């Protein structure tokens, strides 16, 4: 009997030791797999945009560049542009080549803080519902920490440039506000989509997207208010044609003329010029790297136009294979020839991205 009890006790000890050592394994049988042990997800499917015939209106459209105008007409346009209020000097410092290439977060914060009114505007803007911060930030440094340098710099540039281009005619305020909303939205879309499809240097894309609206705002001062109001709901290509008929060049090229008059860096002006050129430029006319950046930036800007104006209520119409309209034809050809951009057809339907953009629209 004693021997039996001893053997029974020994067996109980062995079982207890085994259970203690294997407890983690036992629990894992009933717990969901962790990220470390879950099987890796399969490759995301590629959904190619729908091929369609080039629209006649796009075949007939020819974008006019500034150098094609007679010198006296360029001089007259430049004179009118220079009569517009000039942004504060901080805008040019923030957009200088050296500052964009190498400035640290501390240097950016110091530059913004050197203009007290600018610091106040930047903090008011980044604390708005549009940026969705979990809690308000009390300093420019904190804003950079939570939102990143590119976002805060784009906010500062907009705060400096947009007031200088506000129209004198109150009837144009709604159009101006649409451009301002689209500028904010395009900057955020550039950051979100560049990250999702793996396009580097989103900072340059954000800057070019924001500055691409300079011409659209300045165009409000170049045309008769009635003409701008009539074109307010027109698509990008038709509006561009009417602008060329009235002024000689479209808004995108007018913005480049203004940036040159402001002595902006040549590289930035050229980036801005290339955005709107995508409307008439197939992929084969650009190097692969430039084609990806310019096509994605153009896509973000045109989608932002539609969403900010209320032409589109959500992202469904922006999914690449759902795009319609002549202004998107060559963007589609870029999507079909570039695997990174083709991936947008999948990414644009992910719940996280849809929710993020819907939050931006609600704000």
In this structure, are residues 170 and 177 in contact, taking their beta carbons and an 8 Å threshold? no
**Same-domain check for residues 182 and 226:** yes
Q: Residue 142 belongs to what domain range?
A: 85-165
Alpha-carbon distance 163 to 229, whole Å?
Answer: 20
Token pair for residue 40? 């890796």
Tokens of 206: 């954000």
Same domain (yes/no): 229, 154 = no
d(C-alpha 212, C-alpha 193), whole Å:
18
Both 180 and 324 in one domain: the answer is yes
Residues 173 and 322 in one domain: yes
Q: Which residue shows structure tokens 């973000």?
A: 300
**258 shares its domain with 352:** yes
pLDDT at 18: 40
Q: How far apart are CA 213 and CA 209, in angstroms?
A: 7
Instruction: Provide the domain count of the chain.
Output: 2
Residue-level pLDDT at 279: 94
Statement to judge: residues 253 and 277 lie in one domain: yes
For 335, phi then psi, to 5°, come to -60, -40
Whether 107 is in a domain gets the answer: yes
Kindly state whether residues 177 and 142 are assigned to the same domain: no
Can you give the pTM of this predicted structure? 0.83
* DSSP symbols for 114-165: TSHHHHHHHHHHHTSGGG--SS---SHHHHHHHH-HHHHHHHHHHHHHGGGG
Query: What is the Cα–Cα distance from 105 to 251, expressed in whole angstroms?
Result: 33
- Is the CA virtual torsion 107, 109, 110, 114 positive or negative? positive
Closest CA relative to residue 142, chosen from 180, 181, 113, 171:
113
Full DSSP string of 166-224:
--SSGGGHHHHHHHHHHHHHHHHHHHHHHHHHT-S-HHHHHHHHHHHHHHHHHHHHHS-
**Residue indicated by tokens 């119409």:** 317
- According to DSSP, residue 314 is labeled S
Compute and round to an integer the Cα radius of gyration of the chain. 27
Residue 2: its pLDDT value, please?
Answer: 46
Give the residue from 185, 257, 184, 181 showing the smallest Cα distance to 219. Answer: 257
Q: What is the pLDDT along the chain (363 residues), one digit of tens a residue?
A: 444 444 444 444 444 434 434 443 333 222 233 333 333 455 555 555 667 889 999 999 999 999 999 999 999 999 999 999 999 888 888 888 777 777 788 889 998 998 888 999 999 999 988 888 888 999 999 999 888 888 898 999 999 999 999 999 999 999 999 999 999 999 999 999 998 888 888 888 999 999 999 999 999 999 999 999 999 889 999 999 999 999 999 999 999 999 999 999 899 999 999 999 999 998 888 887 788 999 999 999 999 999 999 999 888 888 887 888 999 999 888 888 888 888 887 888 888 888 888 888 887
Last residue of a domain, one of 165, 195, 229: 165
Asked if residue 216 and residue 188 are part of one domain, the reply reads: yes
The candidate with the shortest Cα–Cα distance to 273, out of 190, 328, 326, 211, is 211
Q: Is 30 within the bounds of a domain?
A: no
The burial of 58, by beta-carbon neighbours within 10 Å (0-12 exposed, 13-18 middle, 19 or more buried), is given as: middle
Q: CATH no. for residue 318?
A: 1.10.3210
CA 203-67-248 angle, 5° bins: 95
Same-domain check for residues 318 and 283:
yes
Predicted local confidence at residue 61, as pLDDT: 94
Domain contains 319:
yes
In this structure, is residue 281 part of a structural domain?
Answer: yes
Yes or no: say if 256 and 272 are a contact pair by the CB < 8 Å rule: yes
Structure tokens at 343: 């991936």
Q: How many angstroms separate the CA atoms of 181 and 154, rounded? A: 13
CB-based burial of residue 32 (10 Å sphere; 0-12 exposed, 13-18 middle, 19+ buried)?
A: exposed
In a domain, 114, yes or no: yes
The reply to whether 96 and 80 lie within a common domain is no
285 and 353 together in one domain: yes
Q: Which of 165, 183, 213 is the last residue of a domain?
A: 165
Q: What pLDDT, on a 0 to 100 scale, did the predictor assign at position 48?
A: 58
DSSP 8-state secondary structure symbol assigned to residue 233: T
**Phi, psi for 62 (deg, rounded to 5):** -130, 115
Residue 230 within a domain: yes
Q: In terms of domains, do 343 and 266 share one?
A: yes
Last residue in a domain, options 121, 137, 165: 165
Give a yes or no: residue 275 inside a domain: yes
Judge whether 217 lies within some domain: yes
Residue reference for tokens 């969403």: 307
């Amino acid at each position: 009997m004693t021997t039996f009890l001893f053997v029974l006790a020994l067996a109980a000890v062995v079982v207890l030791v085994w259970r203690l050592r294997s407890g983690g394994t036992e629990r894992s049988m009933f717990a969901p797999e962790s990220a470390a042990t879950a099987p890796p997800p399969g490759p995301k499917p590629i959904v190619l945009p729908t091929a369609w015939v080039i629209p006649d209106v796009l075949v007939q459209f020819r974008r006019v560049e500034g150098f094609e105008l007679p010198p006296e007409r360029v001089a007259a346009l430049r004179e009118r542009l220079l009569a517009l209020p000039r942004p504060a000097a901080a805008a040019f410092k923030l957009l200088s080549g050296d500052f964009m290439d190498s400035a640290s977060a501390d240097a950016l914060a110091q530059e913004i803080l050197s203009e007290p009114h600018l610091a106040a505007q930047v903090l008011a803007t980044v604390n708005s519902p549009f940026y969705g911060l979990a809690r308000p930030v009390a300093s420019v440094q904190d804003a950079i920490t939570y939102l990143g340098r590119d976002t805060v710099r784009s906010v500062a540039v907009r705060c400096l440039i947009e007031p200088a281009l506000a129209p004198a005619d109150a009837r144009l305020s709604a159009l101006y506000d649409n451009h301002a909303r689209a500028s904010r939205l395009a900057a955020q879309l550039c950051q979100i989509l560049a990250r999702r499809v793996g396009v580097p240097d989103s900072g340059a894309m954000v800057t070019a997207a924001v500055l691409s609206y300079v011409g659209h705002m300045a165009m409000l001062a170049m045309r008769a208010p009635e003409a701008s109001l009539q074109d307010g709901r027109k698509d990008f290509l038709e509006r561009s044609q009417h602008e060329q008929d009235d002024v000689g060049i479209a808004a995108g090229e007018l913005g480049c003329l203004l940036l040159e008059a402001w002595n902006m860096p040549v590289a930035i002006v050229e980036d801005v010029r290339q955005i709107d050129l995508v409307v008439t430029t197939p992929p084969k006319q650009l190097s692969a790297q430039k084609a990806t950046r310019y096509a994605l930036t153009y896509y973000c800007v045109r989608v932002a136009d539609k969403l900010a104006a209320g032409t589109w209520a959500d992202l469904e119409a922006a999914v690449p294979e759902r795009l319609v309209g002549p202004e998107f034809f060559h963007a589609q050809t870029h999507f079909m020839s570039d695997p990174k951009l083709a991936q947008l057809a999948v990414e644009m339907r992910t719940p996280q991205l849809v929710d993020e953009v819907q939050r931006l629209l609600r704000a």
